[in-house]
Structure formats: structure tokens, C-alpha cells
Chain A
Amino acid sequence: MTTKMMGAKVQRVEDDRLVRGTGRYVDDVAPDALHAAVLRSPHAHARIVSIDVDAVLDVEGVHAVWTHEDLEGAMADPLPLLIPHPTLTHGRTQYALAKDEVNYVGEAIAFVVADDRYVAEDALAQIVVEYDLLPAVVGIEAARSGAQLVHDDVPGNVAARMEQSNGDAAAAIAAAPHTLSLDLHIERSACMPMEGRGTVARWDPDQNRLQVWTSTQTSTGVRAAVAAKLGLDLGQVDVITPDVGGGFGVKIVHPWPEELLVPLAAQRLGRAVKFTEDRREHFISSAHERAQVHHVEVGFDDEGRVLGLDVRFWHDHGAYTPYGLIVPIITSTQLLGPYKPGAYHVQFDSLYTNTVIVTPYRGAGRPQGCFVMERTMDAIAAELGKDRADVRALNFIQPDEFPYDQGLIFQDGRELTYDSGDYPAMLDKIKELVDWDHFEDFRAAKAAEGKRVGLGLACYVEGTGVGPYEGAHVHIETSGKVKVATGLTSQGQGHQTAFAQIVADELGVRFEDVEITTGDTRRMPYAVGTFASRAAVMSGSAIHLAAKRAKEKALRIAADALEADIEDLEIVDGVVSVKGTDSSIPLGTVAVLSNPLRYAFDEASKAATQFNVGDPTKPPVAEDDEPGLEGKDFYSPPRSTFASGMHAVIVETDVDTAEIRILKYAVVHDCGHLINPMIVEGQIHGGVAQGVGGALYERMAYDESGQLLNASFMDFLMPYVTEVPTSIEIDHLETPSPLNPLGIKGAGEAGVIPGSAAFAAAIEDAERLPITAMPISPSELFALRAAHAPHAQESK
């Protein structure tokens, strides 16, 4: 190859169609489809006494109206609990359409299919539901008290209680020279991709097959769920995920009720059917995350070395547990970050509330864990009067200690063993980027202007690239073009570019000649999905391995055709040649030769006739071979790779209004080898913006009856360009992972993880008062000031 693509800032191949408006998102396909709309519960907790749909049948243009009574077989059963866990003793999932009871505002009750969405919504308005209202359980305090129950048969609202430890934390804390207790809160937020959920389905009676397009992070998961629920063989269902308008976690949940109801409607009605979620629906009927309350007990020595850490926390998982305990398990394990506490014990309760379900949102439990650990580090430093960076450095796992076993079990059921990293080097970089050592001079200069500034630092380690596997199929066409398929989906991460870079390098073809397909079960039916910063690690590695196989075959056939040794061959720009000679053959021709032909049907096959391949005394296709120039392989890692990073932020808190302004934001990031630094930096930018949102703006404002008061973009505040740092200083560290052939680690979620922790630290540093709950608004900061200086306020 002439230029190495891995590590290059290659412009994205996705962009041409996306900037022209010729991308294909789910709502863009099947313009002939009927449209579905869903009647959703207006109450957080109620028994359904009766549903009267008679009036709907009079609405012209309505093709179907269903309630739970219209569902049969597996469709009438509760939705799957996707990730069971032994400690999830009281897992509950909802029905595709509510049966007898609703447990959150937004729960699906009835389903209408009509000529268009306007008519479908008209029809919904004709449905009369009689409810018997029940008391709503809203928020962790209410859930924990157990005074009212979300599900009658779940005592104390506790779905799961899980405990892990490494050493005797209680004894270590008791024996420690210093101890501290902290109570730390994080509020609910949500992924809020710009494109909501959407599903289109078409039943083909001639082929007895169902085709489903859905905006998902797991095509194969949806395929399996649809097949199981509709009683179809897997081979009868194709799921295609076209362009996806953002996911950030919420689209890993499956099947959503609509992902089953739409295919069922397509099958029953014999027409294409489409569901496109609107924004209010997304707020009240998809998923949220983040809400947790934590209590920390920590024991440490005179230097600030943690001797024992005990964390108890309570997780609000909403009304149901379709995605199991992934979020709190991640918090409980990943809060350890780059540190090695002497002994650690963690216990959490996962609690039901009458609110929207909680499933992973970018970072998935890690922002909470990072907030807990980093607040603890800051508290230790404050208690001892030491530099906050020094206390962290003292507790770091050292570079020569990898692989480092934290003695816990991670979310994937594998041991929590960090593969590689260099945290001291990273700390040096972040201190330099933010000019840590001269901050007091900056603070003094600002103070002289009457301004109040603070500096915050937060460190994290992120388990990325979780298994179990991903696969890839590489097909070299007779034109020399390379068609690659991997089963996981893409929702804006630039996979078609990054994966093509990997193929171009391995195969020695031009980047422009590689085309990547993601998320189409027709092309790669075995896959897991795009979440947990796993795509580059998992599919990237699988694609590398599959390309390698295709290359091996290409070289074998070319060696035969060129009458040369395989070792003497090289592939450059799609041409196989004998090194140092003029003897060469294009890969496309090798592809022709790979398939013993009877017919010369085009120029490529005619050209191939000049080469003699194979022994005429043997069968044209050998016993252990197959026609075609293809490679297929799977990558399955022993355990996750562990990326890491550190963020530092300088804020100014307005002396009068308590407004919080970002003066500087710095990131040091280690995701192993970079495939495309431009894409990685884009991921960091986006993550930082979501971190800013989580720290300063985003919260789900439920009232006590379980109504979400801010279910619109007017009221749920996400950062605009005016809320993000004007620039982000980024530095990279590359400690390659030994677990995969490319030495890479995931990068997708990193940017968001330390946001709340870093901002809390910076605000605390500016204000000299403890920040224990995030997000924090100017009015909350103003109230905190008053609470901590009551006399000053009174005298005003």
C-alpha cells in the first residue's frame, strides 16, 4: 500500500449523501406506508377498568385499532427481559399494549393504523379509557420508603440488591487514620437523539418474509425479538438499519412495543406500516438514565491513600427492567476509575418508580460512578489540605501493574481486569493543558477584577469493547471493489469511514474502493450491536481479521496465476505483484479466477482466461475451498478493553447571578491506537457537550403524580452552541490494548463520563462550598450560597 490509512484524518465517506439530503433514515423509506400512532397512558399508575374503541371504527382512513385483547400468543405476553441477572430477583417488563394496569405516563395502551399520522392521531382521540387511579411512586426517596408499591408483588419496590467486594472495606475504614462520609446525588437525564425512534415493516406474501427497517443500535437483536414474538423463523425476518439519527444508548433497548406492533400490522394488513415517534413521545415512552443517590464511607491515611471504600447506592430504574441491571452494575464497578483502593465494598438497590424506564445513556452509569469517586478524591484532598492532583496520583494504578485485576465482576460477567494504561503520564498531560500549577496566579488575577473562578479535575477509566463478539464479511468483486459487511449498526460514528481505513490497510486496496455495510441482517446475520464503545474494537477487529482471510486467499490464487511464491507478493492499490518485477495481476482478476467459470460473460472474465489456475487433474474447486474471493471472520475478546481519560475545566461563577461560565475545557484521552483522529476528536467534542448538559442543564422534572413537566425541547435544556466551551484542548495518549489485533479501545462515550465530576469540582473550588448534587443551575447555586452563609444573606 502506498499510504497508511490507520491513524489518518480521513474525511468521512458518509457525509456526501448526508449533506445532500439523500441519506435514508427510517422515516424516509416506504413512502407508501400506512402510519401508526399509539395511545399512551396519561396517568403514572392506574388500573385500566375498560377501553372503548368503538368510535374509532367510524373514523375514515383507519385500518386497524388494537388493544391488548387483540394480541395473541407470545405477543400477548410481557416483553422480554433482555439481560437477566441472578440478583434481579423481581424483574418486570411491560406488555406491548398494557394489560390491566399502567405504570408510567406514556405506557402504550392502544395502537391505531391509518392512512396518515394525522388521521391516526384523530382516531386515538376517539378512544375512551376508564382508569382506577393508584398512588404514584416518584423519585428514589418515595421508592426507598416502600410506603406505596409500583408492582403489588415486589416488596419494598426492590427489583434487585447486588453486592460486590474486594477485601474487608469495613475493617479497613474502621482502622484508617481518617474517615469521611459523603452523600451524592445525580438526577435523571436522557439520550435525546435528534431522530426519535422509528420502525417500518413490509410483509411479502410471495416470499413469506418480513422486512423491517428500524432505527436501532442492534438489528440482529430486533430480528430475534420480532421472530420470537411473531412466531416466525429467524430466516423469515430481515432487519435493516439505514442511517440512524443518533442513539446514545436509548436505541439499544428492544424490542420497543412499536417494533413488534408495526411488523404485526404489516403482516395482518398486507400493507407497509410505519411508526415515527414524535418528540413528546420520545420523552415519555422511550428511556431515561442517571438518577442515583449514593452514600460513601471512605478511610484514608495521612497522605491521602485510600485504605477502604464502602459505597451504598440506590438506582431509580423506572417502571420496568427490560435491560436488566447494566447501569448500576457499571456504576458499582467503574467508579474505581484509575485507582486501587485498599479494600472496596459496594451495594446497590435497584428500585421501581412510576416513571419512564431507565436504560443506558452514553456513559451508562459511569458519569455517576466517576462523580462519586472524584468527589471522594476532592473531599480527601480538602480534608488533608493537599493538592487534589497529588492525592489522585498517590492512588493511581501504576503503568507496570497492568494487567490490573480489580477483583470484581464487570457488567459482561467477566473479571474487571484493566488491560493497559498510563495514568501518571496522563495526569502530567492534563495538568500541562490546563496549566494546573499556575492556576492560583490566574485565580488571584481574576479576583483582582472582582471575579470568582474555580478549577476542577476528573479522571475515569472506561470498560469498552465488551463482547461477546462481532463478525465481518469481506467480498472482493471482480471489479476490484471491496464490499464489506458487519452486523452492528452505525448512528453517526463514521463507521463506514473508519472500517474502510482498516480494510484498505490490510488488503492493500484504495480506500475509495471499499464500501462498508452495517446493520443489515441480510448481509451479516450474526452481530450484537453498537453500544458500550464497542464498534471499533469489535467490528474493527473482525473486519481486520476477515480482510486478512480474503488477502490470504487472494495471494494464494495470485501466486498460482503469476507462478510465484506467496512470500514474494505484495498488494498495492488493488494490484498483486511480484515484488521488484513487472509481473502483476489486479485483485479484480484474482476474484474472477477464484470462481472457476464456464462462461466468459464480460471483459473481466475474458481477461482472466490469460491465466492458468489450478491443476487440471484435480477438481476446479478443491475440497477445502469454495468459489469466490471472500473472507469471513469473527472477533471475540476474553474481556473488555479499558480506555481512560482525564478532564479539567475552569469555570467562572458570577458573583451576583451565580451563572456558571466555562472559561477553559481540557481533555486527555487514551483509546489505544487511533483509527481516525478526526472522528475520535469529534466523539470527544460531542461527549463533552453532553457532559456539560448533564452537569449544568439536563434533568427530568417529574411532579409528585408522575407527570413529566418538561417533555419538550423548550423545557428540557440541552446545550446549544452557546452553552458549550468555545474550544476544547485535546491531547491523546496511546497505550495499545493487548487484547485485539489493532491495539484499539473504545472512544464513543468517554467525553461525557467526567462532566459532572469535573464541573462539581470546579464550582466547589470557585465557591468554597461543597457541591454534592448535579446538575446544578444558577438558582441552585444561588440557594447554596445563601444556605452556607445565612448571616451574610440576612444582613443584605
Chain B
Amino acid sequence: MTEQTHEIRLNVNGVEHEAAVPARRLLSDALRHDLGLTGTHVGCEHGVCGACTVLVDGQPMRSCLMFAVSAAGHEITTVEGLARPDGELGPVQQAFRECHGLQCGFCTPGFLTTITAGIAENPDPTEDEARDMVAGNLCRCTGYQNIVKAVCRAAELARADEDGAA
């Protein structure tokens, strides 16, 4: 028996993609395997680790807990969409590099998307607020010290962008 598929349009990082996916296809799998956007990683497949976090209409969502069909019509941002328009690293990416906020890099995309949403909501987090911002994501390598530092640094860089733009 052939599995029924659904034609969907996914807007990812500002680009419209078309895909034919079964109803049960996870968004994480659709991004990775159907669209080839392998920056989104799957760490646990039960929504706990946060590695697969993407932004759906600006809100952080676990793409391993969402079906691809239910993402149709929404604006999705993955790690591939976090760089600046000119190709330079975005503030969160740059902060992670500066602060040594990653080691193996597998959980990193989920942190980057989570923090992007976090500092959009709270542009000037205290260290405690920075810690809260990443408290739903697991990292096995870094011990988090430098990730917290990176959150504060990212907010600083993003604020400088705002000031520059203003």
C-alpha cells in the first residue's frame, strides 16, 4: 500500500519550498531530508533536548514534535537563516564564536534559534535571565558557562545593531 502524501509549501528562511510528505513526517525530518537544510539537528526525538528547535513565526518550537504538514503556511527560521543578509555571522552566531559557546556543535543550532527568539523578546537580559533563556536546551559538551556568556554577548551585539540602525 502506498502511503498517501500531501503537497505542502514551507516558507523557510524567507524561501518558499514545495514538498510532498506523508502526514506523519516530522518537521525536523522534512527540513533535513526533504529540503536538505541539515543544520537543524535531532537529538532526542521527544522534545526534551532542544537541538531541533526552529522558529515558527518567530517563536521557538521543537521541530521533532511538529508535523511538517502543520508547519505549512507559517514562517520558519532555521539556523541557516540566522546569518546577516550580507553573509556575515548574525549576533548570536558571532557571540557563540567569541565566547567559545560550542564544542561539538550538535546542540548549537537549537541554542542559536532559542536565543535569537529570547533576545528579541528581552534585548537586555541579566545573567539570570540569560540562564533562564537557555534552560530548556541540553548541551553535553560545554558545561553551559560559556553559553550563558554568549547570550549576554549576543544581546549586546544585537543592541549595537539596533543602535546603528536607529
Contacts and interface: CB of A to CB of B under 8 A. Distances in A.
Interface of A: 11-12, 14-16, 18-25, 27-28, 31, 60, 116-119, 192-195, 243-246, 248, 278-279, 491-494, 678-679, 681-682, 684-690, 712-714, 718-722, 724, 726-728, 751
Interface residues of B, number: 60
Contact of A243 (B105, B131, B137, B138): B105
Contact of B38 (A28, A679, A720): A28
Given A194-B49, A278-B45, A18 B108 contact: yes
28 contacts: A14-B105, A15-B97, A15-B102, A19-B82, A19-B89, A19-B93, A23-B105, A24-B38, A25-B38, A27-B38, A31-B36, A117-B29, A118-B24, A119-B3, A192-B140, A194-B41, A194-B141, A243-B106, A245-B43, A246-B104, A493-B103, A678-B100, A682-B103, A689-B144, A713-B44, A713-B48, A713-B49, A728-B145
B39 to A, nearest CB: 2
Contacts of A193: 104, 106, 140
Interface string B135-165: 1111111111111100000000000000000
B61 interface: no
Given A243-B105, A245-B106, A279-B46, A721 B39 contact: no
B107 interface: yes
B22 interface: yes
Given A194-B41, A279-B45, A721 B106 contact: no
Contact of B141 (A21, A119, A492, A728): A492
Contacts of A246: 103-104, 106, 140-141
Interface in B8-34: 22, 24-25, 29, 32-33
Interface centre among A18, A194, A681, A718 (most CB of B within 10 A): A194
A245 B41 contact: yes
Contacts of A195: 41, 43, 104, 106
B102 A19 contact: yes
A244 B141 CA distance: 12
A18 B46 contact: no
Contacts of B51: 194
B43 A279 contact: yes
Interface in B34-86: 36-46, 48-49, 51, 78-80, 82-83
Interface centre among B38, B79, B105 (most CB of A within 10 A): B105
A117 B131 CA distance: 36
Contacts of A724: 143-145
Contacts of B127: 726
Given A685-B142, A713-B138, A194 B43 contact: yes
B112 A19 contact: yes
Given A721-B131, A727-B145, 15 more contacts: A11-B100, A14-B105, A15-B102, A19-B112, A23-B105, A31-B33, A194-B141, A243-B106, A246-B140, A248-B140, A492-B102, A492-B105, A712-B46, A721-B137, A721-B148
A277 to B, nearest CB: 10
B43 A21 contact: no
Contact of B143 (A12, A492, A679, A689): A689
Contacts of B93: 19-20
Nearest to B143: A685
B103 A118 contact: no
B134 A721 contact: yes
Contacts of B29: 117
Interface of B: 1-3, 22, 24-25, 29, 32-33, 36-46, 48-49, 51, 78-80, 82-83, 89, 93, 96-98, 100, 102-109, 112, 127, 131, 134-148
Contact of A682 (B33, B100, B137, B140): B100
A14 B102 CA distance: 10
Given A686-B141, A721-B135, A20 B100 contact: no
Contacts of A18: 102, 105, 108
A710 B59 CA distance: 30
Contacts of A60: 1-2
A726 B41 CA distance: 27
B96 A19 contact: yes
A18 B101 CA distance: 11
A22 B102 contact: no
Contact of A688 (B104, B139, B143): B143
Nearest to B136: A720
Contact of A491 (B39, B44, B104, B136): B104
A244 B48 CA distance: 21
Contacts of B137: 720-721
B78 to A, nearest CB: 7
A728 B134 CA distance: 18
Nearest to B104: A492
B90 to A, nearest CB: 9
Contacts of A20: 39, 79-80, 82-83, 89, 93
Nearest to A59: B1
B89 A16 contact: yes
Contacts of B3: 119
A727 B146 CA distance: 10
Nearest to A191: B140
Contact of A22 (B39, B46, B48, B112): B39
Interface centre among A117, A192, A682 (most CB of B within 10 A): A682
A25 B96 contact: no
Nearest to B46: A712
A197 B148 CA distance: 28
What 7 pairs between A and B have smallest CB-CB spacing?
A21-B39, A492-B104, A245-B106, A685-B143, A18-B105, A21-B79, A492-B103
A686 B143 contact: yes
Nearest to B92: A19
B33 A194 contact: no
A15 B140 contact: no
Contacts of B24: 118
A117 B134 CA distance: 31
A21 B45 contact: no
Contacts of A726: 127, 131
A705 to B, nearest CB: 23
Contacts of B37: 21
A118 B38 CA distance: 18
A26 to B, nearest CB: 11
A719 B49 CA distance: 11
Interface centre among B1, B36, B42 (most CB of A within 10 A): B42
